[in-house]
Each structure stands twice: as structure tokens, then as C-alpha cells.
């Protein structure tokens, strides 16, 4: 099994060297044992919160080159065959870093916890209310204000709402006029 912390240790400097922030690294397809394994790298331009295709390609090339160099030196990060996927976090982005919980305070989110709260509930939906130290403040739709240790949050994702769409920077449309559309006969 791949050491995710070690992979992040290798990937993050490569992403940062290109001027981007690492949002998440995830290995997918490994749990079920069927299908192709994927190494997913999610990153963003700190100025826009997004990536365009050329930026994804640049990250992919740089990370691939680094992993290839390590493999040539005998360091294997992932034992099995896998595909590399690089993407932007999107509007309904995952919340993975403390700064995400602060930046998106006031927006609706879904949380999945590793430890139950409020009568054995591990799935919550409500509004982010910020972060204090290592504690996320969350206005749960059923329970009201909760203080949840960051370490107890298994996963978190913004919910696509009109408010979120209005708060999100427009997608960079640079070069869109160069896209050729094929007309059907």
C-alpha cells in the first residue's frame, strides 16, 4: 500500500515550485481492488482558486518527471500501475486545509466525521462558521453550533448553492476564443 504522506512530501514541493497550492492528494481505486488505480492531485492558483488546462498539464509533467526520477533511483511511491490525474478543486470543492474552513466561512458544507457527535451522527450538513485553532465551528442544520476538532473530520465539501456561485471567482476564460467548434451536418 502506498504511503500517502510520503507521496504528498514529494508532490507538494513540485506543485509549489510552479506557484500553485496543493489542495489534496488522494489514491483512488485502491480500496475496492477492482478498476484502475489513480493518483489524484488537486491544486489551485492562490490568486484565483482554480487551474486552467495548461496549468494542470504543467503540474502533471513536473510531478511525473519527479516520480520517474525517484523510480530510476529505486524509490517506488506506488507499487501498482496507476494513472495520474491533476485537477482544479472546482466550485463545490473539498475542504482539506484549515485555511479552507476559514476562507469559506458562511457557506453551506457537508461534513463526514470519523467520530460521531450529537447522538451518533457522523454526517452533518450546515454552514461553516470558521475555525479557531484546530477546531472547526459548524452550524449544523439539526444540532446548531458545533465545535468539531479538525482531526475528527474525515471529509468535508462545499455544497453548490447560489451564494457559493456568486462568491466564486469567474472561471478564467483566457484562450476560449481560440477553441474551434465542429458543426454537425
Domain boundaries, the chain: 4-87, 98-167
User: pLDDT at position 101, please?
Assistant: 97
- CATH architecture, range 4-87: 2-Layer Sandwich (3.30)
User: 98-167 — its CATH code?
Assistant: 2.30.30.180
Domains 4-87 and 98-167 are alike in CATH topology? no
User: pLDDT at position 175, please?
Assistant: 59
Cβ neighbours for 124, distance < 8 A, ≥ 6 positions apart: 110, 111, 112, 113, 117, 138, 140, 141, 142, 143, 146
Model's pTM, two decimal places? 0.81
User: pLDDT at position 155, please?
Assistant: 96
User: pLDDT at position 185, please?
Assistant: 55
Per-residue pLDDT tens digits of the chain, which is 185 residues long: 689 999 999 999 999 999 999 999 999 885 545 568 999 999 999 998 899 999 999 999 999 999 999 999 999 999 888 999 999 999 999 999 999 999 999 999 999 999 888 777 899 999 999 999 999 999 999 989 999 999 999 999 999 999 998 888 666 566 556 655 666 65
β-strand partners of 112: 123, 155
Amino acid at each position: 500500500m502506498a504511503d500517502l504522506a510520503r507521496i504528498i512530501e514529494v508532490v507538494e514541493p513540485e506543485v509549489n515550485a510552479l506557484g500553485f497550492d496543493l489542495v489534496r492528494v488522494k489514491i483512488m481505486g485502491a480500496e475496492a481492488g477492482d478498476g484502475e488505480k489513480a493518483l489524484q492531485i488537486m491544486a489551485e492558483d492562490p490568486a484565483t482558486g482554480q487551474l486552467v488546462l495548461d496549468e494542470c498539464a504543467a503540474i502533471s509533467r513536473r510531478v511525473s518527471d519527479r516520480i520517474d526520477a525517484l523510480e530510476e533511483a529505486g524509490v517506488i511511491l506506488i507499487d501498482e500501475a496507476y494513472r495520474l490525474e491533476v485537477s482544479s478543486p472546482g466550485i463545490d470543492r473539498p475542504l482539506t486545509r484549515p485555511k479552507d474552513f476559514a476562507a469559506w466561512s458562511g457557506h453551506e458544507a457537508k461534513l463526514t466525521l470519523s467520530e460521531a457527535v450529537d447522538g451518533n451522527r457522523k454526517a452533518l450538513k450546515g454552514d461553516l462558521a470558521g475555525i479557531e485553532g484546530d477546531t472547526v465551528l459548524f452550524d449544523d442544520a439539526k444540532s446548531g453550533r458545533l465545535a468539531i476538532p479538525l482531526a475528527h473530520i474525515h471529509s468535508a465539501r462545499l455544497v453548490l448553492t447560489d451564494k457559493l456561485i456568486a462568491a466564486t471567482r469567474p472561471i478564467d476564460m483566457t484562450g476560449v476564443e481560440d477553441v474551434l467548434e465542429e458543426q454537425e451536418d
